[in-house]
Structure 1
Amino acid sequence: MFKPCVVIPVYNHEHAIGAVTQAVLATGLPCVLVDDGSTPQCAQVLDDIAKASPQQIMLVRHAHNQGKGGAVLTGIRHAADAGYTHALQIDADGQHNVADIPRFIEQAAAHPASVIVGYPQYDESVPAVRLYGRYLTHVWVWINTLSLQIKDSMCGFRVYPVAPVLELTKRHRIGSRMDFDTDILVRLSWEGVDMVNVGTRVGYPTDGVSHFRMVLDNVLISRMHATLFFGMLLRAPKLLARKWSRA
């Protein structure tokens, strides 16, 4: 059975979430909106969106902000409880190309046991520092997985098979904030879950809101890479044996 839905974590993106949700619903997919402790203004916008499409939208709320990862996992758990087998994660700020959702779902249907991972295709306007910062994370991910299978671990546009994600969270604590997207992909790779990379155009947030904390989140991400590195060392024999058997 293949039954996908969309999960959107929302934290104070009241100016962009309406257009994003409308575009998502136009694809015919149901949607789980997770209000991650937003302001009353954003909460009201989400209430209005949910009331306008009660058959297609499930609205879930955190009383307090738990971070992007916490919101995504809450959405995936609710999707599983509702009988969905796959969850397409997309950001609420409008930076992802919603028109690519059918391509992602098509790949998920063709590879139901894999994670469909978006990798950004930027134009020449992207700041060089942004690309250099991402490339540093790419290198760490390639080291920590002993593989080049993951092209970009930071793009929040992807499709998860629900079952292995929930099984993983029973045994490991996954980063709940800006470390989430990379942490969960590396750990799923360790579990033997394959990755299918899909290129997608990525722009800047349409509402101009970014919740990235320059100092705190960089410290958090650096600590995550260190933790994953030592985890890789413990798993290296198994990872290398799997790689050689596939070769």
Structure 2
Amino acid sequence: MTASASLTVGAVIPVYNHAVPVVRVAQALRAHGLPVLLVDDGSEPVCAAALDRLALEDGIELLRLPQNQGKGGAVMAGLTHALGLGWTHALQIDADGQHDTTDVPAFLAQAQQHPDHFICGCPIYDASVPKGRLYGRYATHIWVWINTLSFAVRDSMCGFRIYPLAEVVDLLRRTRVGRRMDFDVEIAVRLVWAGVPVINQPTRVRYPEDGVSHFRVLRDNVLISAMHTRLFFGMLWRAPRLLWRRWAA
């Protein structure tokens, strides 16, 4: 794909019981001219009904999973469906409203100029960020830098990003990737391993006072720790190629 290639970009939003904020997020994305694919990850009736109403609006489609798959499972289903819709790129964004949709044009501009790149959000936090979560992210950052033998991805946990769909869906078909909160990190590492170049796009992030987090401290930290271990051993046999690529660059 070249910089002059025609891009078809849409937004994929994994949703699990975010009935109120997802409406604002979806409508803000439509205001930027993006088609929106909502992926209902087994939401409860109140949220499911809100998504049904949203799907009646122009440019918004609903993909409903029969049972909860986890954030990663919902994103993977959405990306695969989006490729089937003929999209070339997908903008992933969380449903809880923490990402600043006014930054969408900056992400789209990067994708237009660099269509073969993975555009990864790099958060700029305000005072609303919980300090424990902010500092806890650095353990993952360090592991990602080790497992890619690079600083290519500055923040692998940010759920605001643009994927080149052909590359990422092909990777998902060939590789088992974590289906829950480990997905965002693992797919970023594996895209680097696959040679997909990365652009770190600064973006503002806030934590709404009424925000609902589905991060389960014990379960998800165990999943993420197991993922880092698995990726570390995957890195070891890839290390010569990764180091050669850095040297050649």
After TM superposition, the score normalised by the length of structure 2 is 0.96
**Counterpart secondary structure, 1:88:** strand
Q: Which residue of 1 aligns with 2:3?
A: none
Amino acid at match of 1:18: V
User: 1:9 touches 1:36 (CA, 8 Å); kept in 2?
Assistant: yes
- In structure 2, distance between residues paired with 1:136 and 1:166: 28
Q: Which residue of 1 aligns with 2:30?
A: 25
Q: How many aligned positions are there?
A: 244
Q: CA deviation at 1:207?
A: 4.1
Q: CA deviation at 1:132?
A: 1.6
Give the alignment partner of residue 47 of structure 1, picking from 40, 45, 52: 52
Q: CA deviation at 1:169?
A: 1.0
Give the alignment partner of residue 239 of structure 2, picking from 236, 240, 243: 236
Listed one character per residue, the Cα deviations across residues 181-218 of structure 1 (whole Å, up to 9, x for unaligned) are 00000001000001100111101146421100010000
Q: Which residue of 2 aligns with 1:37?
A: 42
Listed one character per residue, the Cα deviations across residues 89-120 of structure 1 (whole Å, up to 9, x for unaligned) are 00000000011111101101111011100011
Q: CA deviation at 1:148?
A: 0.6
User: 1:60 touches 1:75 (CA, 8 Å); kept in 2?
Assistant: yes
- In structure 1, distance between residues paired with 2:199 and 2:216: 30
- Alpha-carbon RMSD across the aligned residues, in angstroms, is 1.0
Amino acid at match of 1:14: A
- In structure 1, distance between residues paired with 2:94 and 2:209: 11
User: 1:95 touches 1:206 (CA, 8 Å); kept in 2?
Assistant: no
Fraction of identical pairs, as percent: 59
Q: Which residue of 1 aligns with 2:175?
A: 172
Q: Which residue of 1 aligns with 2:96?
A: 93
**Counterpart secondary structure, 1:52:** coil
Residue 150 of structure 2 is aligned to residue 154 of structure 1 = no
Runs of 4+ in 1 over 6 A off after TM superposition: none
- In structure 1, distance between residues paired with 2:91 and 2:178: 19
- In structure 1, distance between residues paired with 2:211 and 2:126: 18
Amino acid at match of 1:78: H
Ranges in structure 1 where 5+ consecutive residues have no aligned partner: none
Measured at CA, do residues 228 and 133 of structure 1 come closer, stay the same or move farther in structure 2, by a change above 3 Å?
A: same
